[in-house]
Structure 1
Amino acid sequence: MLMNLFKFKGGVKPPTNKTQSLGLSIAQAPLPSKLVVPLHQSIGGTPRPVVQAGDKVLKGQLIGEADGWISAAVHAPTSGTVLEVAMHVQPHPSGLDAMCVVIEPDGKDEWIARQPVDYQALTPEQVRERLQQAGVVGLGGAVFPTHGKLTASKTVPMDELVINGAECEPFITCDDLLMRERAEEVVRGIGVFRDLLQPKKVLIGIEDNKPEAAAAMRAAVDALGEPFLVVQVPTLYPAGGAKQLIRVLTGKEVPASKRSTDLGVQCFNVATAYTAWRAIAHGEPVVSRLVTVTGNVGEPRNYEVLIGTPMGELLQLAQPQPDTDGIVMGGPMMGFLVPDAKVPVVKATNCLIAHSERLFPPKAPEMPCIRCGACAQACPHELQPFEMYWFSRAKNFGKTQEYHIFDCIECGCCSFVCPSRIPLVQYFRFAKSEIWARERDKNAAEGAKARFEFKQLRDEREKAEKAEKLAKAAAAQAAKKAAEAAAAAAAEASPTAPDSAAAATQVPASAATVEATATPAVDAEKEAKKAAIAAAMARAKAQREAVQPKNTEQLSAVQQREQAEIEARRQAAHLTDPAQAEPAAPASEKTD
């Protein structure tokens, strides 16, 4: 059946380099010396470890429990002994550590008791929960927990279910071999997704450079009687991107601010459908995946590899050349050099490329941007990479966000076509990481401020409560003392009163009684204050007298009369206090 295909803007056509690893069938990688299984292998929360050093585990046994809805469980890839639960280097450009469960294989590869189920007898919620417990995530590279994508929008009907078999990245062929050799199980997994989402049609998109895979998928669809449509799309990188493939097959363009389900579309990788079927129909959690091992090796091939296998041990199976100087995880467009050959294979590991300068010659020195616009023409998201580059380089991160830097999927098309050989994607990753770091710092500062304000409020509340308690205690103590004083006064006033009269005068200590009995104490306090004031006035008078001039003892009679007249006039003018004025000496005393 022919159908109308659409185009997406931009894209490039790098050398595919896929034939090297397609000559041999899928092989089973042997058990490694040890398995380092990271607990965090998908988007979402970090699973909680449920084993500890010394525990014996079986293949498929739960070792990391999902800690939320957007999280997926982690399982033991083989039977053996847990050596430790500790931090180990991860396959990430940063080379940072993460919590891992280290298992020493016992060589038996003994499975747990597997429990296949008929998913059609379960509710959709039970199927999604089973996929979460089996650790099924997107194996196309995004590693988003699959069960979280299997709920259709409540407001928008599901029109198309898109299955991604494009595999557009150079060197990678694991999905191609999977569709060739295990097409029936892939189609059955697609049927599970179809029954959960109830779309109007199912479209399986495969690049036209994979004719054998397309033929195998059509044969499986026909054999199972499914109404799925296998569509071959033009080979153009990055046609394997979810938004690009949806655009090609449906003509719908998913905005950055929305999800594909808002447009009635959902997309899954073929390897994800395969592992979902194995989890439901065979009771097998995700403990392995197909990995393409290629590059500077003597025998490139696709292997079924246990999760946690050290990459260096896996690369040795393909006989790397002596000049191999590193390992690239992923393809040459979006992949990265791993920090150490001991890092483990994870669920996102679809390809390992043995790196060498002969295969990937060093780039010439970076040159200034000439604003040719080639990067903008190649960008599949219709961004302006040269503008984002200038503002990233100038550390003007606000402007990079104005140019929608977070819409960039880091596909590398801009860097691939840049005539100045500018590593544009690296600048964009730097800008994103700086923006995220500043957001984290801002959120941390706001959180610290909120905690400080809450502490202040709590301290003030505690002080108020303490003061209130002390005031109540003081009032109660004063009331008690006043009551005791009133009782003692009453007893002294009528010591010979009959018992009946004494009983009649003993009333409950109500508020009025307390107030009445508290009056003597208040009067005594007032008298004490008055006495203190009088004493202070006396001391002040004594000080004034002590500093009075002492040159009036030897006055003559005339001088004494003049002084007396002056003092009389001052008293008449109310300039002195008569009580404080010194009495005039009698006339008999004023003579010699």
Structure 2
Amino acid sequence: MAFLTFKGGVHPYDGKELSKEKPVKEFLPGKELVYPLSQHIGAPAQPVVKKGDKVLAGQKIAEMGGFVSAPIHATVSGIVKDLKKVRNNVGAMVDAIIVENDENYEMVEFYPVKSLEELSKEEIIARIKEGGVVGMGGAGFPTHVKLSPKEPEKIEYVLVNGAECEPYLTSDYRRMLEQPEWIIGGLKCILKLFDYAKGCICIEDNKPDCIAKLTEMVKEEPRIEVCTLKTKYPQGAERCLIAAVSGREINSSMLPADAGCVVDNIDTVCAVYRAVMFGEPVMDRIVTVTGDAVADPCNFKVRLGSSFADLLEAAGGLKQPAEKMISGGPMMGFAMFDYHVPVVKTSSAMLCMSKDEVSANEPSACINCGRCVTACPARLIPSRLATYSEHGQEDLFVKYHGMECVECGCCSYTCPAKRPLTQSVRSMRKTVLANRKKPK
């Protein structure tokens, strides 16, 4: 049987056996919840509460700060303790709202609907917007903006990204097994926005149980099908997924909508379902705590604002010292500056590794083997782009399509010289983008 795939990619050790068989456990947070106002791409949310205010779980505590933005809601009941700057999971200082948890978990009243048919397209978008739904696979793009393309009649594919190709992560896997009806329900909500679109639930072939379960559940759904993908990293990257399923390609100057596609992560689609059908804002998500240094790798249902430190303790703590802690997976995640930081909408995992294999490798000169070229899903020449970056040659970097890099890490992973190719290219990409924003 031929599985859908893309050109390039690598096959790293996936580490999923550590947590894939662990059902999702409810995690109750500690006494203090921290809500950064920047949990999405776009303008930070603006506080609508002040110090001393009483709040309930589900209450909006920060409103949208612009067109591309998203509101933030309390996830516990309690008192607003402070509004101040805190450090996030990558070490940056950001504005945040601090809520002291009263542990009563009183909720605001939500307003469910009896059926999807009673909602108009505009009402669906409004409920997604009010619910603060963003891309929960890591990007954090506000979902109400993504689902409002200029020409909705040209959308032909709604792709639900269940590839979960990032090593060690199993949160989407557990969601597909434990709450598949939420995925199908959320996809139906999105399909109502696009009259001519087909819904595709895209799953790698290393998850046959998920494929079988969802295939059975959608067999009577004429607009929905399950697409089996070849297990290969980065199969879940937006461009790779679009190419694999639709055969279409996009570049850095295009949006998926330009190719007639909308792509949403599993958790995002579930959040859409809860917002549209039950009026529930984004208050929790599944987070995988894993790695060879973790005593008891687990999948937790976590209220946003909870501390990663408390999550690690709930997973039994460290059974041996961890040389590296990562927010997300080892390929595209970010090394954590400190693990006493809050879980946010885009937090998918905490990975604790006993050995920092990256810093242990001393890079040497490029041997011109071409492995990075073979692995690159964007069909670039990463070794050349990294050299341009190291020498500050911005014009050559742009000329040879450096801005098309998706920063997946395949080149660094496959490089026998252990050159930090992805990091070099990422650095130059940031420089180019910053220079483009400067007034001329």
Counterpart of 1:210 in structure 2 is: 207
> Residue 249 of structure 1: CA displacement?
1.2
Distance 1:288 1:182 in 2: 14
| Contact 1:209 1:235 survives alignment (8 Å) | yes
The one-letter code sitting in structure 2 at the alignment partner of 1:373 is G
Q: Where in structure 1 do 4 or more consecutive aligned residues deviate above 4 Å?
A: 359-362
Counterpart of 1:490 in structure 2 is: none
Distance 1:111 1:327 in 2: 34
Q: Percent identity?
A: 36
Counterpart of 2:385 in structure 1 is: 388
Counterpart of 2:349 in structure 1 is: 351
Unaligned runs of 5+ residues in structure 2 are: none
| Contact 2:61 2:73 survives alignment (8 Å) | yes
Q: Pick the aligned partner of 2:255 from 255, 259, 274.
A: 259
Distance 1:162 1:8 in 2: 15
Instruction: Count residues with an aligned counterpart.
Output: 437
Summarize the Cα distance change of 1:414–1:201 in structure 2 as closer, same or farther, 3 Å threshold. Answer: same
Query: Counting helix residues as a fraction of each chain, which structure ranks higher?
Result: 1
Range that drifts further, 46-55 or 263-272: 263-272
Q: Pick the aligned partner of 1:298 from 287, 295, 299.
A: 295
**Residues 128-181 of structure 1: per-residue CA shift (max 9 Å, x gap):** 121111011111111111111213452862222211110000000100000000
> Residue 112 of structure 1: CA displacement?
0.5
Distance 2:135 2:216 in 1: 25
User: Is 1:125 matched with 2:122?
Assistant: yes
> Residue 290 of structure 1: CA displacement?
0.4
| Contact 1:8 1:244 survives alignment (8 Å) | yes
> Residue 308 of structure 1: CA displacement?
1.2
Counterpart of 1:37 in structure 2 is: 35
> Residue 363 of structure 1: CA displacement?
2.9
Summarize the Cα distance change of 1:156–1:184 in structure 2 as closer, same or farther, 3 Å threshold. Answer: closer
Q: Pick the aligned partner of 1:74 from 57, 72, 75.
A: 72
Counterpart of 2:407 in structure 1 is: 410
| Contact 1:5 1:251 survives alignment (8 Å) | no
Residues 566-581 of structure 1 aligned to structure 2 (within 5 Å): none
Counterpart of 1:236 in structure 2 is: 232
SS for the counterpart of 2:192 is helix
Q: Pick the aligned partner of 1:86 from 78, 84, 96.
A: 84
Distance 2:353 2:306 in 1: 19
Q: Pick the aligned partner of 1:167 from 142, 164, 167.
A: 164
The one-letter code sitting in structure 2 at the alignment partner of 1:48 is Q
Query: Counting strand residues as a fraction of each chain, which structure ranks higher?
Result: 2
CA RMSD of aligned residues (A): 1.8
Counterpart of 1:285 in structure 2 is: 281
| Contact 2:191 2:199 survives alignment (8 Å) | yes
> Residue 406 of structure 1: CA displacement?
1.9
| Contact 2:45 2:69 survives alignment (8 Å) | yes
Counterpart of 2:244 in structure 1 is: 248
User: Is 1:196 matched with 2:163?
Assistant: no
Distance 1:29 1:85 in 2: 25
The one-letter code sitting in structure 2 at the alignment partner of 1:254 is I
**Residues 312-344 of structure 1: per-residue CA shift (max 9 Å, x gap):** 111111122231244210111111211111111
Unaligned runs of 5+ residues in structure 1 are: 447-592
| Contact 2:159 2:262 survives alignment (8 Å) | yes
> Residue 126 of structure 1: CA displacement?
2.2
Counterpart of 2:49 in structure 1 is: 51
Counterpart of 1:100 in structure 2 is: 96
Counterpart of 2:322 in structure 1 is: 324
| Contact 2:154 2:260 survives alignment (8 Å) | yes
Distance 1:269 1:436 in 2: 26
User: Is 1:137 matched with 2:134?
Assistant: yes
> Residue 429 of structure 1: CA displacement?
2.1
Residues 480-491 of structure 1 aligned to structure 2 (within 5 Å): none
User: Is 1:177 matched with 2:174?
Assistant: yes
Distance 2:153 2:111 in 1: 35
* TM-score (structure 1 length as normaliser): 0.71
Summarize the Cα distance change of 1:155–1:123 in structure 2 as closer, same or farther, 3 Å threshold. Answer: closer
| Contact 2:29 2:310 survives alignment (8 Å) | no
Counterpart of 2:272 in structure 1 is: 276
> Residue 97 of structure 1: CA displacement?
0.6
Distance 2:378 2:252 in 1: 9
